[in-house]
Amino acid sequence: MKIKDGGGASGEAAVALAIARRARRLLLARGYRVALTRTGATIRLGDGNGNIARARFCNRRHAALMVRIHADGSTSHSLHGVSTLVPAWRGGWTDDIYARSARAGRALQQAVVASTGAADRGVARRSDLTGFNWADVPAVLLETGFLSNPTEARRLHSGSYQQRVALGLARGVAAFVRR
The model's pLDDT over 70-89, given as tens digits with 9 standing for 90+, comes to: 999 999 999 999 999 999 99
Q: What is the DSSP letter of 30?
A: T
Give the CATH number for residue 30.
3.40.630.40
Q: For residue 141, what are the β-bridge partners?
A: 68, 85
Let me know: does 134 contact 55? Beta carbons within 8 Å.
yes
Question: Is 168 domain-assigned?
Answer: yes
* CA-to-CA separations, 70 to 25, 30, 62, in angstroms, rounded: 18, 23, 22
Question: Is 151 domain-assigned?
Answer: yes
Question: Is 1 domain-assigned?
Answer: no
Q: What is the residue range of 163's domain?
A: 12-37+47-176
- 3-class SS of residue 172: helix
What's the total number of domains in the chain?
1
Question: Is 6 domain-assigned?
Answer: no
Give every residue of the chain whose pLDDT is below 50, as ranges. 1-6
E strands, the chain, where?
66-72, 82-87, 120-126, 139-146
Q: How far is CA 65 from its chain centroid?
A: 10
Question: Is 5 domain-assigned?
Answer: no
Q: What's the confidence (pLDDT) of residue 47?
A: 62
